[in-house]
Amino acid sequence: MDAGKAIFETVDKLRQRRTAPLILELDLTEGLTEGPPADPLAAVLSMRKTRLADVLSGLKRARQDPRVKALVVKIGGQPLGLAMVQELRQAVIHFRASGKLTVAFSETFGEFGGGTVPYYLATAFERLYLQPSGDVGLTGVALEQRFVKGALGKLGVGFEAGQRHEYKTAPNTFTQDHMTDPHRESMARIVESVTESMVAGIADGRRLDPGKVRELIDRGPFTAAEAQEAGLVDGLAYRDEVYDELKRAAGDEAHLLYVSRYARGAAVRKLPHPMADAIALVHATGMIRTGRSGRSPLGGGGAMGSDTISAALRAARRDDHVKAVVFRVDSPGGSYVASDTVWREVTLTRKVKPVIVSMGDLAASGGYFISMAADVIVAQPGTLTGSIGVYGGKPVFSELLEKAGITSEMVAEGANAGMFSTSRGFSPEQWERINAWLDRIYDDFVGKVAQSRDLSRERTHELARGRVWTGADARASGLVDELGGLEDALAMARKRAGLADDAPVRTYPRLNPLERLRGPESSEDRSAALARIRMDAWGPLARLSAELGLPAVGPLILPGWYSIR
């Protein structure tokens, strides 16, 4: 009898949970992942991380779900990129417009440090609470670059590099000891554009005048008491106090549920027919290189391989049930050749079905190269994009080797056989070949941008020259079509394909377990899009990278110090 009673009570509790009001919860302390795991190692490392797409789809569905009464988000810990923050703000604002309660809680917005971007996210919520011991690091936006030319010179290391053009500043770290005028101009406009977006968002969210927000930024950072007095937060409270208030507002019978769990549960309950017409979602995340996607087991982020991304685009293109493709790009660039390979697949796909690009935090240099052929490009105001340019060069260790008592001799056949040796500089004849290479890549890049974006070559060159733009400025100049996020791109794709507003989205490549196990039969097989752990993750420039102490990248790359978090 006791066992039967226990079973009955358990079933009754489950039934009550299925009908009880919900408080959706999102914990951002561990950050979010942009897309599905790129390789087996990434799958393990991201097992407990929440996916951005799940959060967006969950909040969209919850707007219409009468069971969902509120949303509470803990902000802090792992920093999020500005464009991802803007994507989340947009989703929260839409959720809030449905009349449901939204609450943000943070232990601190920067503990003895800056916290402008996470605070900007928090201002999208109806109520904003801060732990009494916390701070609001509302200090504004800053980009800083260090130059190592002087340090390398003391060591006896030179750096020879060419670039196209003056705004392609990636090699400046090694070739300059200060910002050039174009370098400072480009960075100043990025900071200004980002500040404009954040000031407008904070002013709207906290019901403050934009001028007052700028004044507060100049006064920051703030202690908790100062932040409450200035109207930057609604109250000072610990987690238990915030959650108790939420439960009182939603009802005693309400229970908490993570947004990602809610989204996955809703997806399972509404499984589309496998043959239903759908939108394909292809993620292109990380550095761009030739070969297959993956990462080094020695550490570092993942990279997209042109073979992997191309195979995914081919699979989506050839699937008759896919009526449009959303290509989600979050990349600083990398290899020119690999970027061109992916560009070709986007061009071929666009010939048979609509392609909408959704840009994440970064879609610059090679990241812009693979995006530009789409029918529509959608970016957030804080996305960093453009950087249409190229650079190339090498370090020269001849003086360092001489100081260390190391001599070097070379035997070669071919006038330029040893031109990439780091023990000697380029000869005038070799510089001619380097410049021809840089000119060819730049001309190809600019020409394809002009054709894809319906711009004159002259206008494209004005916008190019290696300059980095925010999404807001890129939209004004025609390099981007619309401002928005992934959900906006999916809506555009459905509309262009003539599908219903709730048409399913399928991530590509779509592989069943057997296909994953057996591996591809050929490069045309869908499973050719599988990623892997790459033991050779540094590529053919591994020796050069090791000598510099830097990761090997391609000639179309945005420097890592372009990061607003």
Active site residues: 168, 365
Question: Length of the chain in residues, anyone?
Answer: 565
Which run of H or of E encompasses 73? strand 68-74
Q: Are strands 322-331 and 355-364 parallel, antiparallel or unpaired?
A: parallel
- For residue 528 the two structure tokens come to 């050719």
For residues 50 and 35, what is the distance between their CA atoms, to the nearest angstrom?
10
- For residue 448 the two structure tokens come to 């394809």
Tracing tokens 């979010």 back to the chain, one arrives at: 32
For residues 336 and 393, what is the distance between their CA atoms, to the nearest angstrom?
15
Q: List strand residue ranges (DSSP E) for 348-478, in order.
A: 355-364, 376-379, 384-386, 390-396, 468-470
Phi, psi of 45 (to 5 degrees): -70, -25
Q: How many Å is the Cα radius of gyration of the chain?
A: 26
- For residue 352 the two structure tokens come to 């048979």
Residues 6+ apart with CB under 8 A from 162: 391, 392, 393, 431, 434, 435, 438
Residues 6+ apart with CB under 8 A from 563: 81
For residues 149 and 157, what is the distance between their CA atoms, to the nearest angstrom?
9
For residues 122 and 206, what is the distance between their CA atoms, to the nearest angstrom?
10
Task: Note the helical H segments in 20-68.
Answer: 40-45, 52-62
For residues 382 and 470, what is the distance between their CA atoms, to the nearest angstrom?
6
